[in-house]
Structure 1
């Protein structure tokens, strides 16, 4: 049993990648606006390590506005096939342009074009409007590399609390909570189910 939350995350995540039928990297991202009104949606984990957990989005989206107004979030990974979940809470900040550029370059061309075509979270009058914008982006970048839009990039969540939840019979679940100490180590404790 690991007492290092990052090593334990790596182990559970590797197991989820082999057992989950779809999007083992899917995580619920909970944000709140400046007035404390919550919002939650699914995003995809695109990088992780001791420095945090990274996802990408349109920086003009509703979630990006909420991140700017209240840069504290909660993440939830739920792997039903393993009967496990991981909860992560902490502050969030934009990743560097270089990191966003590097990840954007790994996306499929259509996903890159879709980033240019979408005014994410804004009202859309008709699907045809979005499809026309996608076609315009395809024409604009015909025969050339699709560069990252300046309004699109990543965010890193720096964990201040990581909880590992494991289902057990009769709802006698196991909950392990990790919190950071001032010296950079992590304290582990248990929570009642």
Structure 2
């Protein structure tokens, strides 16, 4: 199959290899990691609770493979509560330096405790302490209250490892839709999509009008 200079298939209609969208994402992600000034893994994450009203915010994509796209958060945060009500989400990464973006959506699953432990342990110590001190998304009467909580947790864990709080975990979006968008002159952009009926089904690929 022939491809364009950015790796998009020229003939993009029909069944796709199981690994095709993930191999393309990995290639684009590696290029973005070399060209983006800040946070090539910055991802806009959209969730919606039982009321159906969507929320979107920036998070960091921390892992990706053929199982999906992983981020971590406090389960008591707004996104955590919304995911508890509706385990579906969508994400988009935009790389201005490459004039590309990737968006995806699908059901969400919790990662294993071992995956959450491993990533939490890799974080800076102050970030781990912050996870204990912050009651994410709850009202904060004054900044000093948060700073006092950080000091208290710093003293509590002095001289020992900072464990992962039970309420801090990871989520994996298992995509059923993946779209690769590449800028083209005169807004005649290139859009290649991979779709499937379930998060374990076979991929079909196609192209959309810009």
| TM-score bracket for the superposition, by shorter chain length | over 0.9
Matched residues in 2 for 1:68 and 1:171: separation? 39
Give unpaired runs (5+ residues) of structure 1: none
Matched, 1:189 2:206: yes
Runs of 4+ in 1 over 3 A off after TM superposition: 181-185
1:86 maps to 2:87: no
Quote the Cα distance in structure 1 between the aligned partners of 2:197 and 2:167: 36
Distance across 1 between alignment mates of 2:58 and 2:141: 24
CA deviations on 1:10-40 (whole Å, 9 max, x unpaired) are 0000011011111100000001110110100
| 1:185 shift after superposition | 3.5
Q: Which residue of 1 aligns with 2:26?
A: 10
Check if 1:66 corresponds to 2:82: yes
Alpha-carbon shift at residue 118 of structure 1 (Å): 0.5
Q: TM-score, normalised by structure 1?
A: 0.97
Distance 1:83 1:108 in 2: 32
Aligned equivalents of 1:151, 1:186: Cα separation in 2: 34
User: What's 2:93 paired with?
Assistant: 77
1:25-75 per-residue CA deviation (whole Å, 9 max, x = no partner) reads 000000111011010000001111001100000010010011111111110
Is the 8 Å Cα contact of residues 181 and 187 (structure 1) preserved in structure 2?
Answer: no
> What is the deviation of 1:184?
4.4
Q: Match of 2:158?
A: 142
TM-superposed CA distance for 1:181, in Å, is 6.3
Aligned length: 193
- The whole-number CA distance in structure 1 between the counterparts of 2:204 and 2:40 is 27
Structure 1 range deviating more: 145-154 or 180-189: 180-189
- Which runs of 5 or more residues in structure 2 are unaligned? 8-15
Q: Of 89, 111, 115, which residue of structure 2 is paired with 1:95?
A: 111
